[in-house]
A and B are shown apart, each in its own frame.
Chain A
Amino acid sequence: MAHDHHDNELDPMEVRLRALETVLTRKGLIDPQAIDAIIDTYEHRVGPRNGARVVARAWTEPDFADWLARDATAAIAAMGYTGRQGEHMRAVFNTPEAHNLVVCTLCSCYPWPVLGLPPGWYKAPAYRSRAVMAPREVLAEFGLTLPEETELRVWDSTAELRYLVVPMRPEGTAGWSAQALADLVSRDAMIGTARARVPA
């Protein structure tokens, strides 16, 4: 039988955040409702589906792909995906000769408007250091083995510039709609730790 608590014991980090929110609200620096709105946005409104739509459009519209290659910030903004950590975007395209991988060695810079918030492993020191020093090993751990002759380009995100990997369009998808193609594009494929899914 569970012990019946009549009081509430809050986790130390939970009370710390309550304290931070209290002091910042008292000083007029934050508004608790705005905080809730920000959380809602990042938990529900942005995510890798946005990036998948960008990739699928690049696969189906050569003009858009050119624009994305030239000015990713503008091309992505034109699809309505703007906001924090998306101000300066660069799209890097995988080809049969070269594979791209994105990391943030400093902390966890990541293109939120197109990918949402980063997964835990992206923020972990293990990935942040090894993606640069031993990228092929890292990819192999993700189950992605590249041919020896494939060049591997590792892009280090910064506060100023963030990257979106455009994976190669899988074989056997000729004539597919952009909507159907977007379902083949996973978050990891846009970080570079996976390929686009091959249709069954």
Chain B
Amino acid sequence: MTLPETPAPEASFEAPWQAQAFAIVIALHRRGLFTWAEWTEALGAELAAADARADGADYHVRWVTALERVLAARGVTAPDEITELAEAWARAARATPHGMPIALANDPGTP
């Protein structure tokens, strides 16, 4: 006889990028780029912003902002560099035929 499973908890991630952002922080911490206390401080500061939503709907976006701030503070990469690459990815996605894997190499560049 199998016992009934307890109901599955609600999904922790609503989109793959949220899981990715989570995992990147774990990986960078494992590498020693920052201590966990440093991370929670950075995240806490973001979450405490005056315009943070009371229902926490922006939690994962703020997680990413905190990550970018830590990366900038460590001299790893500046938000501008990330924005440029993000635009390249967006162009690459638009240039990729539907059903094909999106690769950064598909970026046609800026006109």
Contact A16 B9, beta carbon cutoff 8 Å:
no
Bound: A27/B102 CA distance, A? 21
Contact B93 A7, beta carbon cutoff 8 Å:
yes
- From 48 to 71 in chain B, residues with beta carbon under 8 angstroms from any chain A beta carbon are 52-56, 59-61, 64, 67-68, 71
Interface secondary structure of A, over-half rule: helix
Interface residues on A, range: 35 or more
Task: For residue B60, give the distance in angstroms from its CB to the closest CB of chain A.
Answer: 8
**CB of A30 closer than 8 Å to a CB of B:** yes
Contact B17 A17, beta carbon cutoff 8 Å:
yes
Please report the total number of B residues contacting A with Cβ < 8 Å: 64
Residue of B nearest to A37 (CB): B23
Task: For residue B92, give the distance in angstroms from its CB to the closest CB of chain A.
Answer: 9
Bound: A186/B6 CA distance, A? 7
Contact A14 B85, beta carbon cutoff 8 Å:
no
A 18-40 to B, binary, CB cutoff 8 A, 1 in contact else 0:
11111110010111001110110
B64: contacting residue among A13, A34, A126, CB under 8 A: A13
- From 92 to 110 in chain A, residues with beta carbon under 8 angstroms from any chain B beta carbon are 106-109
Contacts of B88 in A (CB 8 A): 19
Given contacts A14-B16, A27-B76, contact A20 B81 (CB under 8 A): no
Bound: A184/B86 CA distance, A? 46
Contacts of A109 in B (CB 8 A): 40
Bound: A52/B94 CA distance, A? 47
Task: For residue A3, give the distance in angstroms from its CB to the closest CB of chain B.
Answer: 12
A180: contacting residue among B3, B5, B90, B94, CB under 8 A: B3
Q: Pick 9 A–B contacts, CB within 8 A, sort by A.
A: A7-B97, A17-B24, A19-B82, A29-B76, A43-B12, A116-B9, A117-B22, A121-B56, A125-B56
What is the interface of chain A, defined by CB distance below 8 A to chain B? Answer: 5-24, 27, 29-31, 34-36, 38-39, 42-43, 47-49, 52, 84-85, 106-109, 116-121, 123-128, 158-160, 179-180, 183, 186-187
